[in-house]
């Protein structure tokens, strides 16, 4: 068989290999971009919730700074309820040094021991995340002192229900994955067609 008879097949194979290589590079680039986008979005949500928790913890600190009598201490749970009870996404637990609760709001959050037993001594408090009963929570805790003589410091822990954020991220991940797959497939088809039409690409005149 003359050597030129195999040239079209060889050129077509080379075009296919080049198209696959370009497709792999493009697919990896798109996947990396999608991963960075998801990471940036998650970091945005965490930063927003960290700032919101800081505001709420400062509200609690301001409230506790006025507890300077035993009567005010007795009224503390009611005052905490008036201050935070209208926040539907907010879980709150204020407890004493032995873990005894003075006030709890949205107990379904089931704040983990890592949050309650290791509160920060000063802001900014670290952000802890956990799942409970198909809910996703982000929380922080601080030790706060009362101006009342002889009063033990209290642990104030707060958490935000971030379930809507997680649901959005799951949907967005599916959309991004579908887009990356579709774009990669489209790129593969276009690359193979263009390389096949190039000189020596395997398409005869």
Q: How many residues does the chain have?
A: 205
**In the chain, where the domains are located:** 18-196
The answer to whether 159 and 132 are in contact (CB under 8 A) is no
Residue 59 CB contacts under 8 Å (≥ 6 apart), including other chains: 83, 84
Residue 173 CB contacts under 8 Å (≥ 6 apart), including other chains: 38
The model's pLDDT over 71-92, given as tens digits with 9 standing for 90+, comes to 998 999 999 999 999 998 999 9
The model's pLDDT over 152-192, given as tens digits with 9 standing for 90+, comes to 999 999 999 999 999 999 999 999 999 999 999 988 888 77
4 or 36: whose pLDDT is higher?
Answer: 36
Give, as one character, the DSSP assignment of residue 120. Answer: B
Looking at the chain, the number of H-run helices and the number of E-run strands are 5, 5
136: pLDDT confidence band, cut at 50, 70 and 90? very high
The answer to whether 148 and 69 are in contact (CB under 8 A) is yes
The answer to whether 93 and 157 are in contact (CB under 8 A) is yes
CB-based burial of residue 143 (10 Å sphere; 0-12 exposed, 13-18 middle, 19+ buried)? middle
* pTM across the whole model: 0.79
Q: CA 130, 90, 124: angle at the middle one, nearest 5?
A: 70
18-196: what CATH class?
alpha beta
Could you tell me which of 103, 105, 106, 82 has the C-alpha nearest to residue 94? 103
Conformation bin of residue 133: beta by default, left when phi > 0, alpha when psi is -120 to 50 = left
8: pLDDT confidence band, cut at 50, 70 and 90? low
Q: Which residue has the tokens 């967005």?
A: 172
């Amino acid at each position: 068989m003359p050597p030129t008879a195999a040239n079209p097949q060889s050129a077509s194979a080379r075009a296919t290999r080049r198209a696959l290589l370009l497709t792999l590079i493009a697919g990896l680039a798109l996947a990396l971009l999608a991963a960075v986008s998801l990471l940036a979005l998650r970091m945005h949500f965490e930063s927003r919730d960290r700032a919101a928790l800081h505001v709420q913890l400062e509200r609690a600190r301001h409230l506790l700074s006025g507890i300077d009598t035993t009567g005010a201490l007795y009224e503390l749970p009611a005052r905490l309820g008036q201050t935070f009870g209208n926040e539907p996404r907010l879980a709150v637990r204020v407890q004493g040094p032995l873990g005894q609760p003075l006030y709890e709001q949205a107990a379904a959050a089931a704040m983990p021991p890592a949050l309650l037993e290791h509160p920060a001594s000063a802001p900014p408090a670290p952000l802890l995340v956990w799942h409970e009963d198909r809910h996703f929570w982000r929380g922080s805790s601080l030790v706060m002192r009362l101006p009342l003589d002889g009063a033990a410091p209290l642990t104030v822990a707060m958490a935000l229900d971030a379930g809507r954020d997680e649901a959005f991220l799951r949907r967005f991940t599916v959309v991004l994955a579908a887009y990356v797959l579709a774009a990669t497939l489209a790129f593969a088809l276009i690359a193979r067609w263009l390389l096949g039409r190039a000189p020596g690409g395997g398409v005869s005149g």
